[in-house]
Every structure is written in C-alpha cells, then in structure tokens.
C-alpha cells in the first residue's frame, strides 16, 4: 500500500498523458473520470495528482503541447520559397500529415475547448489563430500575385482548414486509402478551390487530381 516496485515518475507521467488523450478522445473530457484514467494507467487516482494538480491542468497541458507541436511542425516544414503555390502545398501536406498522425490529440484540442478556463482558452486560441494566420498570409500573397483566384481570404482559409481537419473524422489508417493518397487528393482539391494557376507545368487547370499533385 505504497510505492510499488519498478515505479518511475517519468514513465508514469508519460503513461498518464497517453491514456488521457485516448480516453478523452473516446469519452470526452467531462465523461472521463480520474479513477477511470488511473485504472487505465494501472494506478490509484490519488497518484495522478503527483503529476497534474487538477483535472483541468491535465487537459490544458495536453492541448498546449498539441498546439505547440503543430506550430513547431509547420515551422520546420515551411519552405524557403516565396512561391504561394509551393507554400500552400507545404501547408496542406503538413496539416494533413500532422493531424492524421495525431488524430486523438486533435480531437481533444478541437472538442474540449469549452472545458478550459477563460484565460487558458484564450492562450490556446491565440496559438490557433497564429497558425491560421499563416494560411491567410499565403492565400493573400497568392491572390495579390494573381496566382490564386480568391473571393474572401478569411473565409477561404476557414473553409480549407475545416475541410482538411475533417480528415480525422472519417480517416482510419489501413483502410481503403493510404495517407499519401488522401494527401494527394486534398492537395488537388485545395489547389482547385483557390483557383491556383499552375506555374510549374505539372498539371492542367482542369486536370484530374493526380495530375495536379504528382510533382
């Protein structure tokens, strides 16, 4: 009835995070109890409080690290090129790859915002806005350069992000489509949606998706 043999704080904390993401994604934050989470980790509920002072702290930590990871991933994937088409393609590819890889965490970050305190909600939304702004900038640059035909930059950015993030709702790894096929299709749909004028000669304006993507 105390410390167990082989117990290790770092490993336990990592196990708690992993189990929490999976449980919250499946049951929802409010519906998941600390006792359930503890049972999943193989520990008593009280032990969780060694790592996270409250349930909401746990949620916030998961969300903050998810958003930081997204911004960091885009920072690494962002191309040096100034060409809007290249930048948009990189954004789409990074977004889809990241979100498919972290389906559960994305679910949590998108669905459980209302369980955060006002202050913490603001923090998360700030990161999200920064990420979305990157896309708006690309779209605006492309529109000004005349390579995109866009009605409303803000509206188009939101539509694209909703469309891309929606992948996690229906995509299941190992089913009909591979990640590469899904990414190729979404890239093609994106380019068509923004009315991209193909500048690399790799695709025709009204060509099939495969053409527009196979670069």
Binding residues for DNA (CB under 7 A): 1-10, 12, 32-36, 38, 42-50, 53-56
Sequential DSSP letters for 118-177: HHHHHHHHHHHHHHHHHHHHHHHHHHHHTS---S-HHHHHHHHHHHHHTHHHH--TTSSS
Nearer to DNA, 49 or 131 (CB): 49
Q: Does 30 bind its own copies (CB under 8 A)?
A: yes
Residue 56 interaction partner, one of its own copies, DNA, none, beta carbon < 5-8 Å per kind:
DNA
Between 43 and 142, name the residue whose CB sits nearer to its own copies: 142
Element (H, E) at 101: helix 84-101
118 binds its own copies (CB under 8 A): no
User: Choosing among DNA, its own copies, none, which partner's interface includes residue 185 (Cβ < 5 to 8 Å by kind)?
Assistant: its own copies
Which stretches of the chain bind its own copies, using CB under 8 A? 26-28, 30-31, 111, 114-115, 149-152, 155-156, 158-163, 165-166, 169-170, 177, 182, 184-186, 188-189, 192-193, 195, 197, 205-210
């Amino acid at each position: 009835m105390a410390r167990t043999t082989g117990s290790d704080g770092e490993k336990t904390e990592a196990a708690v995070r992993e189990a929490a993401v999976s449980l919250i994604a499946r049951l929802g934050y409010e519906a998941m109890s600390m006792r359930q989470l503890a049972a999943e980790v193989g520990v008593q509920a009280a032990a969780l409080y060694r790592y996270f002072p409250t349930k909401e702290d746990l949620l916030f930590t998961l969300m903050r690290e998810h958003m930081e990871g997204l911004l960091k991933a885009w920072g690494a994937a962002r191309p040096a090129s100034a060409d809007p088409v290249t930048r948009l393609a990189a954004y789409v590819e990074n977004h889809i790859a990241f979100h498919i890889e972290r389906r559960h965490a994305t679910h949590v970050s998108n669905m459980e915002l209302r369980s955060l305190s006002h202050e913490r909600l603001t923090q998360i939304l700030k990161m999200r806005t920064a990420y979305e702004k990157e896309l708006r900038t690309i779209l605006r640059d492309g529109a000004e350069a005349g390579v995109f035909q866009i009605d409303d930059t803000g509206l188009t950015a939101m539509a694209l992000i909703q469309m891309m993030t929606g992948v996690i709702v229906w995509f299941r790894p190992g089913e009909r489509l591979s990640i590469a096929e899904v990414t190729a299709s979404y890239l093609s749909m994106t380019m068509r949606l923004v009315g991209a004028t193909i500048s690399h000669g790799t695709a025709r304006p009204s060509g099939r998706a495969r053409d527009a993507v196979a670069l």
